Amino acid sequence: MNGISNSSSLRAAFSYCVQQVHSYDYEHYLCLLHLPQSLRKAAFALRAFNIETAKARDNVSDAKLALVRLLWWRDIIDNIYKNKVAEHPVAQSLASVINEHKLSKHWLNRSIKARIEDTEMETPPVSLADLEQYSENTSSVLLYLMLQAGGIQSTSADHAASHIGKASGLVLLLRATAYHASRRRSYIPLEIAAKHGLSQEEIYRGEHKETLENTIFEIASTANTHLEKARELSSNVPKAALPVLLPAVPAQILLDSLRNRHFNVFDPTLNRGISGVSPLYFQLKLKWCAFRGKY
């Protein structure tokens, strides 16, 4: 009976992860549906973990409370590798896939560390390189872990995952500019803003000026370059890795939506549909790329 109970509890935990990804990260939820069945549990558990750590900062006004939550997750990861599992559906799902796929603790810790450091920061990142590193540590690591869960060992796939994760992280932070500005937070690097004459107060006030367009364009161009570099590697990427790298598609769609709105991150239509396009267009684009083995 205990085995049946444990199995039922684990199914409920994985179901919770799927629901969380569907609710809070719908773009990547659709991407994960194109993964082979053997990889979906791991992917949904990892994405749900990412949601938990990302929400820690966004759901509270007091950074200290967010830090407490993130330190709690750091302890949960430590305990999972000591065969101690917390009574939390995402923790239970993670423990299961870590045990099944022997996932590296290094990448999970790197993700939590990045979230903790971000929470402790009281100012925007200084340079674009800082923002790229943050994107690497929060977005690329998820792709590394999915590749590992799929038993895919490929330097080309790893490099492509790095570029796609950086691009995804950058464009998602750009899209969230209005939300962050409403809470007097910004991820627009100080050096880039100063270069184009954009002040932090202008960002917080949500003013769309040429200085903002030029600043966002530079960051978006960097994201686009990462996608181009990832695609240049595609001929050397194993076929099994291609579905894991599909997040390049929503990143490109979001970049195109930004371009169509003249890089106005305060345009409310950017959040209509999925990444500023109709759900039908988004899903057809994703299905077409998946069918052709492209990203």
Tokens (6 digits) for 213: 């367009």
> What token pair was written down for 231?
């695609």
Tens digit of each residue's pLDDT (9 = 90 or more) over 158-194: 999 999 999 999 999 999 999 999 999 999 999 999 9
Q: Check residue 1 and give its pLDDT.
A: 34
Q: Which amino acid is at 70?
A: L
Query: Which of 87, 80, 84 minimizes the C-alpha distance to 101?
Result: 80
Amino acid at 71: L
Instruction: Give kind and range of the element (H or E) at residue 175.
Output: helix 155-175
pLDDT of the residue at 213: 96
Q: Does the CA dihedral 202-206-208-213 come out positive or negative?
A: positive
Rounded distance between C-alpha atoms, residue 177 and residue 199, angstroms:
14
Question: CA 203, CA 214: separation in Å to the nearest integer?
Answer: 13
CA dist 11 and 22 (Å) reads 17
H or E element, residue 96:
helix 89-101
Q: Tell me which H or E stretch contains 251.
A: helix 248-260
Q: What is the pLDDT of residue 5?
A: 46
Q: 127-149: b or e for each residue (b if 16 or more CB lie within 10 Å)?
A: ebebbbbbbbbbbbbbbbbbbbb
Position 122 scores a pLDDT of: 87
What is the block-wise mean pLDDT of the chain (295 residues), using blocks of 10 residues?
64 97 97 97 98 87 90 97 95 97 96 96 95 98 98 98 98 96 95 96 92 97 98 97 98 98 96 95 97 96
Which residue spans of the chain are classified as CATH 1.10.600.10? Answer: 123-295
Q: Return the CATH architecture of domain 123-295.
A: Orthogonal Bundle (1.10)
- Beta bridge mates, 274: 277
The DSSP line for 214-266 is HHHHHHHHHHHHHHHHHHHTGGGS-GGGGGGGTTHHHHHHHHHHHHHTTT-TT
**Burial classification of residue 36, based on how many CB atoms lie within 10 Å of its CB (0-12 exposed, 13-18 middle, 19 or more buried):** exposed
Q: Which of 139, 92, 103, 98 is nearest to 118 (CA)?
A: 139
108 in Cβ contact with 133 (< 8 Å): no
> Which tokens go with 289?
């790329």
In angstroms, rounded to a whole number, what is the distance separating the alpha carbons of residues 157 and 288?
Answer: 21
pLDDT computed for residue 259 by the predictor: 97
123: left (phi over 0), alpha (psi -120 to 50) or beta: beta
Which residue matches tokens 């409403």? 182
